[in-house]
Structure 1
Amino acid sequence: MKKDELSHLAQDGARIAVRVTPKASRNEVALRDGQIRVATTAMPEDGKANKAVQKLLASALGIAKSRLELIQGATSKDKVFQIKG
């Protein structure tokens, strides 16, 4: 997915649900069947995968990664991020 391709979702306070695949062969953000899927090469240990997903998703949304907060699913493949204003 290109940078800023999901920018229409970048509204203050918006909650964005994603499905994560850690230890993938490449980093990718994709929209499949109406769901945002993020694949990352990072390992799911010590929050590395969560940080990588935050960075990838922020890039796809066209916002700073500091504006994204993980509010649900820290240890799950299904995560919810909220955009801070």
Structure 2
Amino acid sequence: MDLTVRVKPGSRKGPLVEETEGDPAASVTVYVRERAVDGAANAGVVAALAAHFGVPRSRVTILRGESSRIKRVRVDDAG
């Protein structure tokens, strides 16, 4: 499945995945503690989404937006 994700790096709430309602830009909001430095926040997003959907980290891929807060992410749950 492909998701549009809004990332909140450096959040005290993290790691947390919330379904987003009323946000036309993103279907899921991911709060991560990691700062957006040297890809740390992206790694946190992958880990949080993998844990949320119960899949290995290798099945979560950032398709677009590696340097943006809005990302397109694929979660491959077929196994």
Whether TM-score is above 0.5 comes out as yes
Q: Does 1:76 align with 2:40?
A: no
- Name the TM-score, length of structure 2 as normaliser: 0.83
Q: Percent identity?
A: 28
- Hey, which bits of structure 1, 4+ residues long, moved more than 3 A? none
* CA distance in 2 between partners of 1:56 and 1:83 (Å): 12
Aligned residue-pair number = 72
User: Where does residue 21 of structure 1 map in the other structure?
Assistant: 8
For residue 62 of structure 1, report the CA deviation from its aligned partner.
1.0
Q: Which stretches in structure 2 are left out of the alignment for 5+ residues?
A: none
- Name the TM-score, length of structure 1 as normaliser: 0.77
Cα distance per residue 1:32-61 (max 9 Å; x no partner): 206210011101010000000100011111
